[in-house]
Every structure is written in structure tokens, then in C-alpha cells.
Chain A
Amino acid sequence: MIRLRQLAPWALLLVFTCCQNASPGLWDAGLEKKADLLMRVEHEEPRCFAEGMRDLTCFWDEADGGTPHLYRFTYTYENEESNECVVESQQREGSETRYFCKLLKVQLFGLLDIRVYRGETLLYNRNLLINLVFLLDPPANLTVTRTGKPGQLKLSWLPPPLKYMENSMMYEVSCTTAGSRMEKVVQGNTEFTLRSLRPGTEYAIQVRVKPDGLTYDGYWSDWTLPISMRTLPDDADPLILSFSVIISFILVLLSLTIFLSYRRFLIKKMWPLIPSPENKFPGLFTVYGGNFQEWLGHSSGGLWQRPGFFYLEELPVMLEVLSEATMSPPVQIQPGDSRAPGLLKETTQENEDEMLPKADSGMEKKWDPDLQENWLMDQFQVLQQSSTPPSQSSLLESKDAYVTLSQNFDQHPGEGKLEDISEESLPLHVLFGTTETSTSHPDLGSLPQSSGSSQLSSQSSFEYPHNTWPSKSLTYACLTMADSGISTDYSSISSSRTGMECIYTNDYKNQMPKERQPLATPPTHTGCWVQEQHNSSPT
């Protein structure tokens, strides 16, 4: 018993050494894996790699059925004699045989001359530096932990257990998630923190190692077994989200209240009210589309020829001449005309500041003999009844000028004038005042009056014009001028003006068809102007 026990370790040792020498199982699975890896990257035969500081393994593949005794492997270091290594073989699939040789005593940093002979022929010859053909084992003890932050993982592993090579390693980390793979090279350190990962996802981490190439060099090792880890989900986000929602809501409320309280102010600032002269020129923009000529009156051609006409101080006082202008306007008018001068004269004589009512009154006097006296009275009454009467006198006495819309001024006989009844109606408004005149100061463009007149044209208040002049198109132009002493010669204003003609055709819409026919004479006449200066009374 005792002998056996004493013998046992020796026996074991014997077996062990025998096995070492024969080394049939030298080619294990680890070597197989490394050899396969090397097959892909190294193409120089025989393929050699060093696993550590004290070994070198070389192999080559042949398809000759496994006859290792045929081969001779010799290696020679610098300045030394050649040595021989025993070739071993490993059968592989098919007819392929892998022949290999492992050196156990190696010298680094010096050239090694390797030769492989098959029989007497030199099969391979290779010179290499062993420190440049390292193929290490994958790093061990890879651990993956979560840091406190989402999207981060901390890795750590052990370096290869080689004495002189601790600081000469570089590593590669690969993290794989569904569909994507990311690889990163790490120099020197054996721990690493992965950042900017997607939170809440599962990652598979792997690491491999290689000498950094400065002193030692080699091939990339195999990957470690993957380790899966799930990153932390974004937990802070709901909090941030709710905060941001609340704050934005508060801001919106604040802005709304500010806006509402300063709404008017803001609107004024943003869309300031651009003053428009529309209210002073009734109908100018709406009816005539901004055509000031037309708005002033169709027969205002004469007026237009005199731009000075529009200046307040230069506007002559106008005497409107009411005349019948239908079939027999000329007939009737003539007497009127004959009167008109008288009227005019009268007015001029009477008053320099010939105002409308006075002129009217003057005319009225003259008209009395006419049958239209009543009509005149009515008209004057209307005038007085209008809102402007109180202002009328003042108006008339003022130096402002009323613009009489007289189509009369239109030089073109009857063309469009008869048709533009609305325009024709304007003078009436002016004459008779308008209830709608808002402006008490008839400026040159006392448009409100005219606009009112146009509106009133259709009113019943102007029925009498319609009634009283069924056959007559009464036209007159009323323009109260400032009494600034304008001396304008209007004698030449109207080309159509005859000596005694002061016929104003007043075309109303509803009467247009009627009036057209009866009107034989060109209805357009310039307004009779009463000039304060008397001279150029258009007679």
C-alpha cells in the first residue's frame, strides 16, 4: 500500500511527461478556434501565432491524407544554429490535414527564420518577429453594470495575463441592439463607459483585445461571450414634461390676459387707422371710384380747365340757375336765361358773398313770375329744413365753397350725362341741402352734401323735382364759392355756353329715359357762375 502511494505520484509524473512529449492532444478546441480565425486574416504560410510570451504555434493545411513524418520544420534565430520542431497533424473534415508545430522556447524581438520541408523540397520559408504575431485569448471577466443615468452602461474586464505586456494592449467594445451594431476602440484602459445609448433598450456587449502595435503587435482576438444588459428607461422625462406643460399653460394665460387688456392699444399699434378722406367726399370713392372729375360733375369740364377753380379763395360764387331743360328747355330757358343774367346781376350787385339762399331768393324773385315759384319755395324750404340750414347761412357766408355737382359742366352734350342720373342728382342735393350733410363746413369738396344729394335723389323729398320736372331736366350747378374775391373769368369755361344759356340739365335716373328724348339740346351747360367780381358773368 505504501509503495503504491509512493509510486503513484511518480507514475503520474511519468504519464504526464509522456503525454507532454507525445502531445497528441496538443491541438485542442481553443487552438482550433484561433487557427480558424487566423485563416481569414493571415495569408502567409505557414501561419504562426503566439499565445503568450513563451510560445509560438505554426500550422499549415495540406490535403494529402495525414503523413506528418514527411515534413520537417526548422527554425533559426539570429546568429544561432537552426533547430528542428516535431511536426504533428490533425485530421479535419474531408481529406484536409492540418500540420502544426509548437515552439516552447522562443526569443522575441529577433528575426526568426522558419522553413518547412516536405522530404527534400522546401515547402515554405518565412521570416518573422514573434513579438509581432500575437493572437491572444479574449479578455476575461467582462462585467456590465448600469450607471445611474439612462442610456449609459459601464464595462470592465481583465487584461491578458502577460507579464511584460500590460500597458501595450488595446481593446474593442461592441454593443449590439436589435438591428444595429456599434464598435469602439479603447486604448489602454480595461474599463469603459458607454454613453448615448438608447434608454430602455437591451444591449449585448462584447470585447476583444489586440496588442497596440508599438512594441507588440498581432491579430484581433476572438470576441468574448456577449453579456446582455438593459439600459435604464427615461424616468425623468414625465416630470420634465409635466413641468413644461404647466409652465407653458401659465405663460399662455398670461399672454392672453395681457393681450385682452391691451387689445385696443395693440390693435391700434399693429393696424393703425389710416385716415381717409372718404367721409369728406361722399360718393367719390364709392360711386365714381375715385374719379374726382366725375364726382364733381359731368359738366365740370369748364371747371377742370381751371384748376384754380378748386381753390377756396378762387372759387367764384355760383349762381345756380334753375331751368327747365326738357323739350323746350331752350324756350323756357331763354326767358330764364334772360332772367338769369338779371338774376346774376342782381346777385352780384346785391352781395358779393352771394350765397346760395340769397341767390335762390334772388332767383326766386325772378321766378315768381314763373310758375315755378312754388317749387322754388318748396325747395328753399327743404333747404332750410335740412340740417344744414343753420349752417347754410353761415356756410354761405363763409368763405367756403360748395361744390355743386353739376353735370352741367360736362362739355359733352348728353353723352353720358343723361345716363348718369345719379350724378345729375347731386346738384340737387347741394341746392336743397341734405339732411345728411355731416359737414357743416363745406370745403371745396363738400362731398357730404353731394353724397347726401345723391342719396337723396332717390328719396321722396326730391319728388318734386321729379314731379315738377317731368319734362324738364333741371340742371343747375350750385357752387358756393368763397368770397375771397376771386376773379375768374368763366366766360370761357363753357364752350357750350351761349350768351344766355344757363341751362342745367339735371338728369335723374328715373327720368333718364324720359329726359333723353325730350332733350334735344345738349343738356350740358356750364354752371352759371356768379362771380363776385361781377365781370365775367356768363351771359
Chain B
Amino acid sequence: MQTYVVIGLVAVLLIVLEWTRSGMPSVLKPVCDPRVLDRFIREAQDTEVAMVRLCLSSCALSLSLTVPLTSVDFVAWDKKNVQEQAQEVQSGLWLLGKAIDVVRASVSNTALQSMLDNSYSNIHSIRQVIRTLNIQDWSPSPTESASLDTRQVSSTPELFRVQTNFLRGKVRLLLSHAPACHRSSS
């Protein structure tokens, strides 16, 4: 009797996990408040400024990291559809997350460590916010990753500058013009 109950519970748990993993259309309310992203941008700015002040000698990275491009051409951007924009944003966030992870492992300073942890969690939070806007999750495939628009950075201040401007530009544009938000307002 007990084993049946346990099996049933496990099955339910697996089903639930599968649903979440597959990225079922979120039943969560879309996060449309611009202040949410503004907070992340502020924290990224503070990290960028502090990184210049704190890293001192350990600013240079032993190996170069791949980061997304941040510059936005409005004309070209407007021409893209939401899916393309979302893909660009999500791939960029993924790259940033990976880069921060690498730096986090190599840094020993506790102050820097806490800031890196904060940035890493912020990246994940933004990805969550994007998920609430009914945008499908993107995961890198081996074929796609090569053709992404990326560049290389070799110092931590540069990495965080890229992060800040990525959030300011592409991520913000995507979130502010997300159809899920505009449907309700306009």
C-alpha cells in the first residue's frame, strides 16, 4: 500500500518537473514593470564601477571570454521580429552567465565574490522575467553557438561593462516592447 503511494507521488513530481523543464506556457503573470529591469541595470552599473576600483591587479583575465555584442541599431532592431529579438537576448544572457561563472571561480577576494554572485543571480532573474512574457526558452545548440554575434573580452571591468550595456540595450528593448505587456496596456 505504502509503495503505491510513494510511486504515485514520484510520478506526480516527475510530471511537474517535466512541465517546468519543457517551458510550458507560463501561468505566471507577465512582469511588465520597467522598474524591475531598472533595478538590475543599477546593480550592474554599481558592479562595473566597483570592479574597476577593486580588481586592481587581478583585472586581467588569464583567458579571454566570449560575450555578446551590445550595440543596437534601432532601425535594424525594429526590423526583427520578437522571436529573433528574444533569441538574441537569451543567447546573450546565456553567454554572460557563463562568463561570470568562469570569473567567479577564479576570484578569491570576498568582496568581488559577493558582487559576482549577485550578478550571476541577476542574470538568472532576468531570464525568469523573460519567461513570464511568454517567450520561449532558448538553450544553446552546438550549431547555433558558432554563428552568434560575439566578441572577446580579456578583463573583468570590460566584462561588466558589456553586461551593463547589454541590459540597457537589447534586454530593455525586448522587455519594454514585449507583446505580453502591450496587449494589456494598449
Residues of A within 8 A of B (CB): 53-54, 77-79, 105-111, 129, 131, 164, 167, 214-215
Contacts and interface: CB of A to CB of B under 8 A. Distances in A.
Contacts of B172: 215
B167 to A, nearest CB: 9
Contacts of A105: 73, 75
B169 A131 contact: yes
A214 B165 contact: no
B75 A54 contact: yes
10 contacts: A78-B71, A107-B72, A108-B74, A109-B168, A109-B169, A110-B69, A110-B72, A164-B176, A214-B38, A215-B41
A400 to B, nearest CB: 102
B75 A129 contact: no
A108 B71 contact: yes
B164 to A, nearest CB: 9
A203 B12 CA distance: 71
B75 A108 contact: no
A188 to B, nearest CB: 11
A63 to B, nearest CB: 35
Contacts of B69: 78-79, 110
A53 B71 contact: no
Contacts of A78: 69-71, 151
Nearest to A216: B168
Contacts of B41: 214-215
A167 B41 CA distance: 15
Interface string B82-116: 00000000000000000000000000000000000
Interface string B154-183: 000000000001101110110010000000
Instruction: Determine chain B's interface SS by DSSP, over half rule.
Output: helix
B142 interface: no
Nearest 5 A-B pairs (CB), nearest first? A110-B71, A109-B169, A107-B71, A109-B165, A215-B168
Instruction: Determine chain A's interface SS by DSSP, over half rule.
Output: loop
Interface of B: 34, 38, 41-42, 45, 69-75, 149, 151, 165-166, 168-170, 172-173, 176
Given A79-B149, A215-B172, 7 more contacts: A78-B71, A105-B73, A107-B71, A108-B72, A109-B70, A109-B72, A110-B169
A78 B169 CA distance: 14
Contact of B73 (A79, A107, A129, A214): A107
B32 to A, nearest CB: 12
B165 A110 contact: yes
Contacts of A79: 69, 149, 151
Contacts of A129: 165
B75 A131 contact: no
A164 B174 CA distance: 11
Nearest to B34: A167
Nearest to A80: B71
Nearest to B149: A79
Contacts of B149: 79
Contacts of A215: 38, 41, 168, 172
B71 A77 contact: yes
A164 B34 CA distance: 12
A78 B151 CA distance: 8
Which residue, B41, B71, B72, B166, has most C-beta atoms of chain A within 10 A? B71
Contacts of A54: 74-75
